[in-house]
Structures are given as structure tokens and as C-alpha cells.
């Protein structure tokens, strides 16, 4: 069987593309990095891939708001291509800035009568860069988190606060919530680093094939990336690798 093909989408300001490439390669996927202009210009096509990823960074400097400019490019220039990619069963992963992009492009959650959810500035009014605990909702349909119950991952963002009306929040497919070290998903700051509603850290669509989260799984692939790796019992790999293994495995068996 041919290798699963993953596209890492880049734009000016993307800065986690190499880490995300490494993660998918470790999971057994063939990976190609492509600037958005290559897709818009027709040099490559989403039809060549089974997985598309928008990695972390600060696309276009986040000059308007986090991910907004790239979101507009996706919506206005590649909207039809993305819709066809999803309809044929492709997987989409958005990490940090990628989460912001997918939300503001109306891809996740799918827009009905206008964008109903956004990511705003952290309640702390500062850039939060540290590690957080996550609890994974066992009822989530998310393909990427299958078999995962909890994670410990780094964050690095200034605009990670999920905001929406209660009606919208109640309809979300929540995948991951910020928690404390005991698994309490109602723990406040600093465990919830941004003030996100209901401690939400990641969501997916109804199929589980489109997934976004604010923490960075690609930054914890090897055990030696753990901040306490010299003081705790060694593990085979970091918590983040499971997300990438699940994605590649699902494509192989779908």
C-alpha cells in the first residue's frame, strides 16, 4: 500500500511546520510542505493528499486577529477545493494558529448563518507559553484522539480563548478540555491558560475528521521533550505522537 500523504500548509509567519512534518513522518506518513500560493496557483492540489494540516505560528503576523488573513484566503480562494476534500473523506488538523484559521474560515465548526464562535485574547492579557494538562472527552467522535484519555502538552498563544453564545457551545463536539494534574476539567487559571469557555482546548466536527486544538502535540513527540524527562520514568514516546499515529492509521484502514 502506498504511503499516506499529508500536506502541511504554510503561509508567511508559519513556524511549526518542520515540527509537524517530523511528527507525521514518525507516524509513517509521506509529508509535503506547500505555501498556500502553490495551491491557489494550481502547482499542487488537495486531491493529492489524504490529510491536510494547518500548523502553528502567526500567519501574516496575526495583524488583524489570529489566523484571520489566512482564513480569508482559504474561504475565498480555496473554499470549493476544501469542501470537495472533506466530502471525499479527507482529514484536517489545525494546531494553535491553525485552530484560529479553521474557525475564522467557517470550516470548524461548519458555518451556519454566519460565524458563531471565535478565539479571542487570553484573559491574562499576555502570551502564555508553558505546559498544560488535558482531558479527552471519551464520547468525542474525534479520529485523532482515539484511545487517548489524557495528555500533557505545551501551549504558546496569545489568543486562545474560545468564545461563543451558550447555544453554540452546547452544540460543539468538544474533544479536549484544560484540566489540573488531577484531571479536574473545571480548574481555572493557570490550568485553563486563556479563559476559554467550559475549559475547551479542542473541538472536532460531527464526523471526527476535522480537529483543532490550541496546545501543540507536535512539540511532544519524543519523551526527552518532556520538561521533567530526567526526573520521571521514561516512556516510549511523548503524549502528542498518538494524535498523528491515529490519523495515519485511520487513513490506512478507511
| Residue range 5-25, pLDDT digits in tens | 999 999 999 999 999 999 999
Could you say which of 19, 142, 204, 216 is catalytic? Answer: 216
Give exposure, 140-162, as e/b (b: 16+ Cβ within 10 Å). bbbbbbbebeebbbbbbbbbbbb
| Mean pLDDT along residues 213-225 | 98
Q: Determine what percent of the chain is predicted with pLDDT higher than 90.
A: 96
Active site residue 96: yes
Q: Say how many domains are in the chain.
A: 1
Could you say which of 96, 128, 157, 226 is catalytic? Answer: 96
What is the per-residue pLDDT for 1? 62
Q: Kindly tell me if the per-residue pLDDT of 48 is higher than 80.
A: yes
Given a contact cutoff of 8 angstroms between Cβ atoms, the answer to whether 23 and 217 are in contact is: yes
pLDDT band at 113 (very low <50, low <70, confident <90, very high): low
| Mean pLDDT along residues 122-149 | 98
Residue with cell 498563544: 157
Residue with cell 505545551: 154
What is the per-residue pLDDT for 111? 80
pTM of the model: 0.97
Of 221, 176, 182, nearest in space to 202 by CA = 176
Residue 232 is part of which domain span?
5-113+122-253
Q: Kindly tell me if the per-residue pLDDT of 45 is higher than 80.
A: yes
In order of 133, 242, 253, the CA distances from 250 in angstroms are 25, 12, 5
Q: What is the CATH number of the domain that holds 219?
A: 3.40.50.880
Of 67, 129, 77, 62, nearest in space to 99 by CA = 67
Active site residue 128: no
What is the per-residue pLDDT for 115? 83
Active site residue 237: no
Could you say which of 159, 191, 218, 226 is catalytic? Answer: 218
Amino acid at each position: 500500500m502506498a504511503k499516506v500523504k499529508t500536506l502541511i500548509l504554510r503561509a508567511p509567519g508559519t513556524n511549526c511546520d518542520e515540527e509537524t512534518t517530523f511528527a507525521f513522518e514518525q507516524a509513517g506518513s509521506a509529508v509535503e510542505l506547500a505555501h498556500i500560493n502553490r495551491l491557489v496557483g494550481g502547482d499542487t492540489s488537495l486531491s493529492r493528499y489524504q490529510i491536510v494540516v494547518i500548523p502553528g505560528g502567526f500567519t501574516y503576523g496575526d495583524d488583524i486577529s489570529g489566523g484571520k488573513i489566512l482564513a480569508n484566503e482559504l474561504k475565498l480562494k480555496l473554499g470549493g477545493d476544501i469542501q470537495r476534500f472533506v466530502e471525499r473523506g479527507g482529514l484536517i488538523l489545525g494546531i494553535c494558529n491553525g485552530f484560529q484559521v479553521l474557525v475564522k474560515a467557517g470550516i470548524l465548526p461548519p458555518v451556519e448563518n454566519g460565524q458563531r464562535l471565535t478565539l479571542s485574547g487570553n484573559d491574562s492579557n499576555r502570551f502564555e507559553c508553558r505546559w498544560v494538562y488535558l482531558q479527552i472527552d471519551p464520547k468525542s467522535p474525534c479520529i485523532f484522539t482515539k484511545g487517548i484519555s489524557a495528555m500533557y502538552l505545551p501551549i504558546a498563544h496569545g489568543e486562545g480563548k474560545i468564545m461563543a453564545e451558550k447555544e453554540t457551545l452546547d452544540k460543539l463536539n468538544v474533544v479536549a478540555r484544560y484540566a489540573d494534574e488531577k484531571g479536574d476539567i473545571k480548574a481555572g487559571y493557570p490550568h485553563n491558560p486563556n479563559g476559554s469557555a467550559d475549559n475547551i482546548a479542542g473541538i472536532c466536527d460531527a464526523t471526527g475528521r476535522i480537529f483543532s486544538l490550541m496546545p501543540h502535540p507536535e512539540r511532544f513527540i519524543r519523551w526527552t521533550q518532556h520538561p521533567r524527562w530526567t526526573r520521571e520514568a521514561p516512556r516510549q514516546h511523548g503524549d502528542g505522537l498518538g494524535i498523528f499515529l491515529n490519523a495515519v492509521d485511520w487513513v490506512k484502514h478507511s
